[in-house]
Amino acid sequence: MVEYGAGTGVGLHRVLEPAGVLPQAALRLDTDPRIRPDEVRVRVERLNLDAASYRQLRTAHGGDPGAIRAEVLRIVAERGKMHNPVTGSGGMLVGVVDEAGPDSPLGLKEGDRVATLVSLTLTPLALTDGLARWDGRSEQVPAEGHAILFARSIAAVLPADLPVPLALSVMDVCGAPALTRRVVAARESAPVVAVLGAAGKSGSLSLAAARRAGASRVIGLVPTAEEQERLAASGLADAVVRADARDPVAVAAAIGEPADVTVVCVDVPGCEHGAILATAPGGTVVFFSMATSFSAAALGAEGLAADVTMLIGNGYVPGHAERALELLRSEPAVRALFTARAGADSAQ
């Protein structure tokens, strides 16, 4: 169903300049609302700007809402996508399917309310309302216009039974539990799983996914006494330990007997060596933090003579969004952690 090699499924025909690059690398995309047979057009309702991008815009314009709004409009008009040229990041959007091409493999139909799970940096986007309803004061941007999804895009239908902000915050990290599940299930015997940064969104989902996939024991590592107490109370882990994830020796000591699978969900640099040291020979480390350094991981494992498999956390696993939402629904403890984190958002 999905096209490879030829490259049409990835939206090459929407790249206006420079020719031949992928949409994410493009300076400018074609936002023509007429879709190809394998595309989907979405009527946009809301953009969720990437936090780093919004922060940069706010800082650059001294917090002036009008100037921030004008800048976003300018970027989208110029590039045909919301791709912040300074941060290189985008965000995601929520909208309603307007038209689904007959050859689209995404399984969407007209009227479906969806969230895009690929970055706005590669999504053709045209705005028509001048962002009149956006106050410029948060990364949540009410918007009107249209966006195009390719054959190889990812979009998830928003569930009717969950508040939209809650569903979005789950979808935002749904790759982590999906890959954790796959790695745990692939082990020959039930593994011990350690999650670094276990009280966060991706961490708590990964704990739940690991246990459900057959882990013999799940250990959560957190940095503070407060998180330790909260996670212990949730019952999501068999043991909750405390250490600074950037201190390899402290991490290894806190985990104790090394884990078979270690999942890194701590979004700060410098956690590679602790994760490696906490993992048994023949084990697997899954790095989900975007702060992971490739060379620190590669050289660290070599320097420690650690025979561990190290995975780059791929944000895409088929069915990841549905599975993560299902975890949230069936694990009240996960939902409670999410709701506590989201604060006011969860009430929307």
* Rama region for 242: left / alpha / beta (φ>0; ψ in -120 to 50; rest): beta
Measured at the CA of 241, the angle between CA 199 and CA 166, to 5 degrees, comes to 5
Q: Does 249 bind a second copy (CB under 8 A)?
A: yes
Q: Does 4 bind a second copy (CB under 8 A)?
A: yes
Which residue in 310, 325, 327, 328 binds a second copy (CB under 8 A)? 310
Q: Does 21 bind a second copy (CB under 8 A)?
A: yes
Distance separating alpha carbons of residues 166 and 160, to the nearest angstrom: 12
Q: Does 148 bind a second copy (CB under 8 A)?
A: no
Q: Does 77 bind a second copy (CB under 8 A)?
A: no
Of the pair 290, 344, the CB lying nearest a second copy is at: 290
- Enter the tokens of residue 261: 């699978």
Q: Cβ 173 to a second copy, closest distance in Å?
A: 12
**Contact, 81 vs 104, CB < 8 A?**
no
Of the listed pieces 76-84, 127-135, 255-263, 331-339, which binds a second copy according to CB under 8 A?
255-263
Q: What is the DSSP string of 313-335?
A: --S--TTHHHHHHHHHHH-HHHH
Measured at the CA of 268, the angle between CA 226 and CA 207, to 5 degrees, comes to 55
Which residue in 111, 268, 307, 340 binds a second copy (CB under 8 A)? 307
Q: Cβ 243 to a second copy, closest distance in Å?
A: 12
Q: Does 257 bind a second copy (CB under 8 A)?
A: yes
Q: Cβ 286 to a second copy, closest distance in Å?
A: 10
* Rama region for 5: left / alpha / beta (φ>0; ψ in -120 to 50; rest): left
Q: Does 314 bind a second copy (CB under 8 A)?
A: yes
Distance separating alpha carbons of residues 310 and 312, to the nearest angstrom: 7
Q: How many residues sit close enough to a second copy to count as binding (CB under 8 A)? A: 63
Q: Does 261 bind a second copy (CB under 8 A)?
A: no
Which residue in 189, 295, 343, 344 binds a second copy (CB under 8 A)? 295
* Among 208, 147, 146, 138, CA closest to 173: 208
Q: Cβ 198 to a second copy, closest distance in Å?
A: 19
Q: Does 12 bind a second copy (CB under 8 A)?
A: yes
Which residue in 70, 162, 253, 333 binds a second copy (CB under 8 A)? 253
Q: Does 84 bind a second copy (CB under 8 A)?
A: no
CA separation, residue 65 to residues 106, 134, 145, 177, 333 (Å)? 36, 9, 20, 37, 38
Q: Does 27 bind a second copy (CB under 8 A)?
A: no
Return the residues of window 151-190 that contact a second copy according to CB under 8 A: 152-154, 175
Cβ neighbours for 190, distance < 8 A, ≥ 6 positions apart: 214, 215, 216
**Secondary structure, 3-state, 41-110:** EEEEEEEEECHHHHHHHHHHCCCCHHHHHHHHHHHHHHHCCCCCCCCCCCEEEEEEEEEECCCCCCCCCC
Q: Cβ 195 to a second copy, closest distance in Å?
A: 18
Q: Does 17 bind a second copy (CB under 8 A)?
A: no
Name the site residues for a second copy (rule: CB under 8 A). Answer: 2, 4-5, 7, 10, 12, 20-25, 117-119, 121-122, 152-154, 175, 247-250, 252-253, 255-258, 273, 277, 280-281, 287, 290, 292-295, 297-318
